[in-house]
Structure 1
Amino acid sequence: MLKADLRKIYMQKRKALSTDEAFLLSEKIFNNFLSYFRPVTGEKVHIFIPIEKFKEIDTQIFIQYFLRQNIRVFVPKVTDRLISIEIFENTEFTVNNWGISEPVSNTDSGEHHFDYVITPLLYCDKHGNRVGYGKGFYDAFFQSLSPDSKKIGINYFNAEESIDDIWENDTPLDYLVTPTEVLSFFKDSE
């Protein structure tokens, strides 16, 4: 299917979820992530802050856990590009024009190696190709990362349809975590 069609279908599926369903599915995704990856103190995680009006996965569950475990947390902020800002318990946030909560600071951490880059998406196929909101910020961000940073998509829905219109600048994910499974897109499993 084409990205535009998948974007419409999965936005509708997401909208159909109740707030309680979305939270329960977010918890299952979080538990699957922890069981599979087992992050430890001192590791670095880049993770998005959810856009509530789009019923994105509740990553606050992840963020609070990481901060309690002394796992370093970085979140995106869009300036002319996507930058990465390290956050702490006392970090101040503001809501931007797109309704996304982001740090007040504009100071890019300069980090290019993360143990995990937890990525928003609307859909991901069985090859790691993702459909986002179509702005291209994450594909450009992925290009700046060290090759051993694990790019992990999280989604309420399993990979079913293939994405037919993959572009040259599209960067596939390394993993997909859903409420029911963790998919690895490496040819040779780790």
Structure 2
Amino acid sequence: MAEPTAGMDYSFCWGILSIASLLYKGFNMDRLSLRKNILQTRDRIPAAHRKQMSTTIHNLLLPHLSICKAGHIFIYVHFRSEVQTMDLIKQLLQKGCTVSVPLTLAKQSTLLPISIDNPEEQLIPGYYGIPEPTPAAVAASTGRCADIDTVIVPGSVFDARGGRLGYGGGFYDRFLSRDAPQAKRVALAYEAQMIATVPVEPHDQCMDYIITEKQIYNCQRSCHA
């Protein structure tokens, strides 16, 4: 598919993607199929449009949560078609936040927060190609789970109650419930990833907020209610 040119009207593309997302609302799809189909929808969003929507999401996030100044933010580094976070990480650092990013500990099935201050130099391809901290950054890190104020989370499927499906590994569910239960949970997603009801299971961790390019969902971890 040809890359869209600057100034293209995305309304038609967005309409198709929104319809694709709506097809899943109200249907009892199993979790694996639901995740697969929504991720395929997300992957079809043109790269230029993803970047534009990511910027909109950043602009909604920063003033709403007032998370900068002295806060410690644990934030994912975007991969493939996820809401982009590199520019957001730089903004958080510029505003004085302590920023840590995940190092995947595959054998322990968990995440380790590694503090960074120069993402362009301190990130390299890691677990499954996801950008992760360099060995030097890991060695110098002062990040501690107990100090984290806000966790910014990726995912595949969401609902307005804070329901979330990740990618099937359970890394963030374990991290949120066991390692950083005190932290606010903020998910970043495109509106095309929102459905009526995520089929959550007992281990699934609910979000406090979900921010899309359209709105901020104030969920208050109500997905199991």
Pair 77,146 (structure 1): closer, same or farther in 2 beyond 3 Å: closer
Give the SS at the match of 1:98: helix
Counterpart Cα distance in 1 of 2:170 and 2:185: 15
Match of 2:73 among 45, 57, 76: 45
In structure 2, the residue matched to 1:12 is 40
Q: Is the 8 A contact 1:125 1:161 kept in 2?
A: yes
Compare 105-114 and 39-48 and name the one that shifted more: 105-114
Opposite residue 99 of structure 1, the aligned amino acid is: G
What per-residue deviation string (whole Å, max 9, x for no partner) do you get for residues 148-168 of structure 1?
41101110126333122x222
> What's the CA shift for 1:57?
1.1
> Which structure's relative contact order is higher, taking Cα pairs within 8 Å and 6+ residues apart?
1
Amino acid corresponding to residue 111 of structure 2 in structure 1? L
**Secondary structure in structure 1 of the residue aligned to 2:128:** coil
Equivalent position to 1:104, from 120, 134, 143: 134
Q: Which runs of 5+ in 1 are unaligned?
A: none
Letter of the structure 2 residue corresponding to residue 17 of structure 1? I
Tell me by how many angstroms 1:78 deviates: 0.5
| Secondary structure of the corresponding residue to residue 45 of structure 1 | strand
Structure that is richer in helix per residue: 2
Task: Find runs of 4+ consecutive structure 1 residues off by over 3 angstroms.
Answer: 105-108, 145-148
What is the rounded CA distance, in whole Å, between the counterparts of 1:124 and 1:56 in structure 2? 13
123, 127, 140: which one pairs with 1:93?
A: 123
Q: CA RMSD in A?
A: 2.0
**CA separation in 2, counterparts of 1:178 and 1:121?**
12
Query: Per-residue CA shift, 1:125-150, capped at 9, x if unaligned?
Result: 12211111100000000013454411
Name whichever of 104-113 and 10-19 sits farther off: 104-113
Tell me the alpha carbon deviations over residues 75-112 of structure 1, each in whole angstroms, 9 at most, x when there is no partner: 01111321110111275222114111111234573322
Structure 2 residue ranges without an equivalent (≥5): 1-28
- Structure 1 residues 143 and 26: alpha-carbon distance in aligned structure 2, compared to 1, 3 A threshold: same
Instruction: Specify the alignment match of 1:170 in structure 2.
Output: 204
What CA distance in whole angstroms lies between the structure 2 residues aligned with 1:153 and 1:41? 21
The percentage of counterpart residues that share the same residue type is: 25
- For the 8 Å contact 1:123–1:157, the answer to whether it is kept is no
The whole-number CA distance in structure 1 between the counterparts of 2:31 and 2:176 is 19
Give, as a single letter, the amino acid of the residue that structure 1 aligns with 2:124: T
Partners of 1:187 and 1:72 lie apart in 2 by 25
Please list, as runs of the form range in 1=range in 2, the aligned pairs for 1:1-190 lying within 5 A after superposition: 1-51=29-79, 54-79=80-105, 80=108, 81-89=110-118, 92-105=122-135, 106-107=138-139, 109-157=143-191, 159-164=194-199, 166-186=200-220
Which structure has the greater CA radius of gyration? 2
Q: Deviations over 1:15-50 (max 9, x none)?
A: 111110000010011011013112221111100001
- AA matched with 2:195: E
Counterpart residue type for residue 94 of structure 1: I
Count of matched residue pairs:
185
Report SS of the residue matched to 2:202.
coil
Cα separation, 2, equivalents of 1:136 and 1:150: 18
What is the TM-score normalised by the length of structure 1?
0.89
